[in-house]
Amino acid sequence: MLHRRNDMISLGVNIDHVATIRQARYRDMLDSPNAEPDPVEAALAAERGGAAGITAHLRADRRHIQDVDIFELRKAIRTKLNLEMGNTPEILEIALKVKPADVCLVPENREEVTTEGGLDCAGNEDALVPTVGALQDAGIRVSLFIDPEQEQVEAAARLGAEFVELHTGAFANASGGAQDDELFRLIAAAELADSLGLRVNAGHGINYTNIAKILRIPHLAELNIGHSIVSRATFVGIEQATREMVELLADDE
């Protein structure tokens, strides 16, 4: 397989699971001085480690990140905030108040532990048009979290999004030849997206090991990584865990 070298790829650190740890004990006591760990502190540590942006998903069920976290992140961080959200009026209203640099529209299923599968842009274009328009009118760049499928990439282009974020979960969960097949799908989707004028991000299940193959995907602008970095941070801290991932990105230069 030909290795296509990318320009400098940015790292967005998803701090959702820092909030997951906090919510495990302090779900109904966020005003307590003992409510920890603080997602904002985690975001600042990730920035010190070299993160180019902070990603957080404000879910409809508020299972981890809370409204106050989003507003505080927007004020505190020095890089950029990438807000992941489902296509719901309530969360859209919050996004328009917060005005993050980027919004990534994702599917939501209350039964899932974390986001599984991409957004069906092709089947929901009519519902997505007003949301994409409202965000862009507010000066917010829009990304669509999609599976690496031709119809989804083409729908994202028709919707006028600035970015697609390719869902790398199937790749991350596969092995051997099956993983290579998934990588070919991601490469083809990235090539198509670039040809249609879309910038290409990727995320879900990327870790310190499989990132080497992920970097074979052409045209990547940004990788959004959360669980692996938060897991590594258990042993070395958020700042160092972020720095180690940034170094792996730099090694591809």
Q: What is the pLDDT of residues 206-249, one digit of tens each?
A: 999 999 999 999 999 999 999 999 999 999 999 999 999 999 99
Of 25, 24, 71, 17, whose CA–CA distance to 46 is shortest? 17
Indicate whether 4 belongs to any domain: no
Indicate whether 186 belongs to any domain: yes
Of 33, 38, 39, 35, whose CA–CA distance to 25 is shortest? 35
DSSP string, 159-201: HT-SEEEEE-HHHHH--HHHHHHHHHHHHHHHHHHHHTT-EEE
Indicate whether 1 belongs to any domain: no
Indicate whether 107 belongs to any domain: yes
* More confident call, 198 vs 31: 198
Query: Coil, strand or helix: which one is 95?
Result: helix
pLDDT in tens, 69-99: 999 999 999 999 999 999 999 999 999 999 9
Indicate whether 5 belongs to any domain: no
Q: E-assigned strands of 6-130?
A: 10-14, 53-57, 81-85, 102-105
* More confident call, 174 vs 109: 174
pLDDT > 70 fraction of the chain, expressed in percent and rounded? 93
Q: Are 99 and 86 in contact (CB under 8 A)?
A: no
Rounded Cα distance between 225 and 84, Å, is 13
Instruction: Give the per-residue pLDDT at 192.
Output: 98
Instruction: Give the per-residue pLDDT at 111.
Output: 55
**Which single residue is written with the structure tokens 């991601």?**
186
Is the predicted pLDDT of residue 31 greater than 80, yes or no?
A: no
The least confident of 1-15, 194-208, 235-249 is: 1-15
Is the predicted pLDDT of residue 3 greater than 60, yes or no?
A: no
Give the total number of structural domains in the chain. Answer: 1
* More confident call, 5 vs 29: 29
**Average pLDDT of the residues of the chain:** 93
**What's the average model confidence in pLDDT over 18-46?**
90
Q: Are 98 and 120 in contact (CB under 8 A)?
A: no
* More confident call, 6 vs 45: 45
CATH at 178: 3.20.20.70
Indicate whether 120 belongs to any domain: yes
Indicate whether 108 belongs to any domain: yes
* More confident call, 160 vs 108: 160
**What's the average model confidence in pLDDT over 21-48?**
90
The residues that are catalytic are: 57, 84, 204
pLDDT band of 153, cuts 50, 70, 90: very high
Instruction: Give the per-residue pLDDT at 253.
Output: 53
Residue 107 CB partners (closer than 8 Å, separation 6+)? 86, 115, 117, 118, 119, 120, 145
Rounded Cα distance between 218 and 208, Å, is 19
Provide the whole-model pTM. 0.93
Is the predicted pLDDT of residue 27 greater than 70, yes or no?
A: yes
Is the predicted pLDDT of residue 105 greater than 90, yes or no?
A: yes
Instruction: Give the per-residue pLDDT at 1.
Output: 38
Indicate whether 153 belongs to any domain: yes
**What's the average model confidence in pLDDT over 150-173?**
98
Domain range for 21 is 10-250
